[in-house]
Structure 1
Amino acid sequence: MSTLVIVGAGPGLGLSLAEKFGKKDFNVALIARNQDRLDTLQASLTDMNIKSAGFSADVTNEQQIADAFTQVRETFGQIDVLVYNAGVIAPVSAAETTADIANQHMQVNIIGGISSAQQVIPEMIERKQGTIFFTGGGASELTVTPILTTLSIGKSGLRSYAHCLHDELQDQGVYVGMLSIAGVIEEGTYFSADNIADEYLDMYEKQDVAERFYVDESEDSDAVLKDTYTSEGQA
């Protein structure tokens, strides 16, 4: 069986990704900070007859990430697909963004993604096979979203890294892709976690582009993001 690793696993998109790939005969390794949450996710996947395991690690701690990936290999063997799904989504305006806040958020939004990718890149190059995915922020990457300044900075940087990796590794048998979600993940909508997970699975099967934008053409994504984070304070 193949193995999927989800860094930043949670009950929304993370669980849907685990279910979609698990039903395609993937073992699923879940990485997140909260062990109780990991145990709950694993129990849900067990009920679906999907083999999984949770590994606690803080993405801002490179040693913890390295240790978690070592445990994944000890449990499941080689890693075939990595999805970096961690991110800090916080309503912070440009004027309120201090260097300290930016640094804290960048550790999750960019540095954790690089640390995670480095755990699998050498072995994927060696066997000339493997897939690395990053979850992007859609509108926050390419347009001005002042209420989400640190997310915009982070996802823009992660997008650049993903494209650089794609261009560098595509001739070495390693596929790197980014799915940029231009909206707020919410069940019962176009942006439901299951719909987005289906898009990821399609990208994995086709491996034809460096990036896809998941956009509801009937909505103004900038306005939706602004309204959501201004009225609720957070997602």
Structure 2
Amino acid sequence: MSRNPENLRSQIELLSKDASKVDPFSVDAGEPDSIAQFVQAAIGKSGNVDVLIYNVVALARGRPSTIQPATLTSELNINVSGALASVRAVLPDMLQRKSGTLLFSGGGWTVYPAMEFASISIGKAALRSLSLMLAEELRDSGVRAGMVTIIGAVEAGAPFDPQKIGRSFDDLYRQPTDQFPAEIYFRGT
């Protein structure tokens, strides 16, 4: 799912090598209440969801003392509540099948908060907490949860090229279940 499925191209290409079918869908993560309904429609079209990649960011510049509470709330809705709504939409089926993978895109601000970007720093830290707690909760269920924490600015043709980041998601996905890490750091290699 993505507001713009074209943004998922590198991840779709990598996953399509081994998967029989990968279908991108357009959805606005700022509307968490509609995500469950949308996911059910997608499942009706495509069947089971084997992998959920939540790669969403809302980014407003501002220091903690200057950011408006409404801005923080809106961004948390996109960065965290949308992730939770997505998980809740796909998880029951994954648990029933005892199979599935939940992947989240984290950022360097998760572990190195940036004062000038308070809202996203808070949001990514909250998303990391959600991801780590899901990994622990689901540990023995057959469903895996993990995060790729990107420690740098994403830019095509640079060390943090989206293609390289997509390969990190693929590398994480391919880890054996008994060795599946809750988080990996992508440092632009």
TM-score normalised by length of structure 2: 0.91
2:95 corresponds to: 125
Q: Structure 2: how far apart are the matches of 1:144 and 1:7? A: 25
User: In structure 1, which of residues 87, 97, 122 is the aligned counterpart of residue 67 of structure 2?
Assistant: 97
CA contact (8 A) 1:9 1:30 kept: no
Q: Structure 2: how far apart are the matches of 1:62 and 1:188? A: 33
Cα offset, 1:148, TM superposition: 1.2
Equivalent AA in structure 1 for residue 118 of structure 2: T
Secondary structure of 2:25's match?
strand
The CA RMSD measured in Å over matched residues stands at 1.6
Secondary structure of 1:29's match?
coil
CA contact (8 A) 1:181 1:213 kept: yes
2:58 corresponds to: 88
User: In structure 2, which of residues 169, 181, 187 is the aligned counterpart of residue 209 of structure 1?
Assistant: 181
User: In structure 2, which of residues 86, 107, 119 is the aligned counterpart of residue 116 of structure 1?
Assistant: 86
TM-score normalised by length of structure 1: 0.74
User: In structure 1, which of residues 27, 30, 46 is the aligned counterpart of residue 21 of structure 2?
Assistant: 27
1:199 corresponds to: 168
Equivalent AA in structure 2 for residue 108 of structure 1: I
**Cα shift readout 1:194-222 (whole Å, capped 9, x = no counterpart):** 101111111101152000011148xxxxx
Secondary structure of 2:133's match?
helix
- Structure 2 unaligned blocks of 5 or more: none
Aligned length: 186
Equivalent AA in structure 2 for residue 215 of structure 1: R
CA contact (8 A) 2:75 2:119 kept: yes
CA contact (8 A) 2:32 2:77 kept: no
Q: Which has the higher contact order (CA 8 A, sep 6+)?
A: 2
Equivalent AA in structure 1 for residue 30 of structure 2: T
**Cα shift readout 1:115-145 (whole Å, capped 9, x = no counterpart):** 00101111111111100001001x2011230
Cα offset, 1:89, TM superposition: 2.2
Greater share of strand: 1
Secondary structure of 1:131's match?
strand
Structure 2 vs 1, CA of residues 201 and 94 (structure 1 numbering), >3 Å: closer, same or farther? same
Cα offset, 1:72, TM superposition: 1.1
User: In structure 1, which of residues 58, 62, 81 is the aligned counterpart of residue 32 of structure 2?
Assistant: 62
Cα offset, 1:10, TM superposition: 4.5
- Structure 1 unaligned blocks of 5 or more: 1-5, 33-56, 218-235
Q: Structure 1: how far apart are the matches of 2:88 and 2:122? A: 21
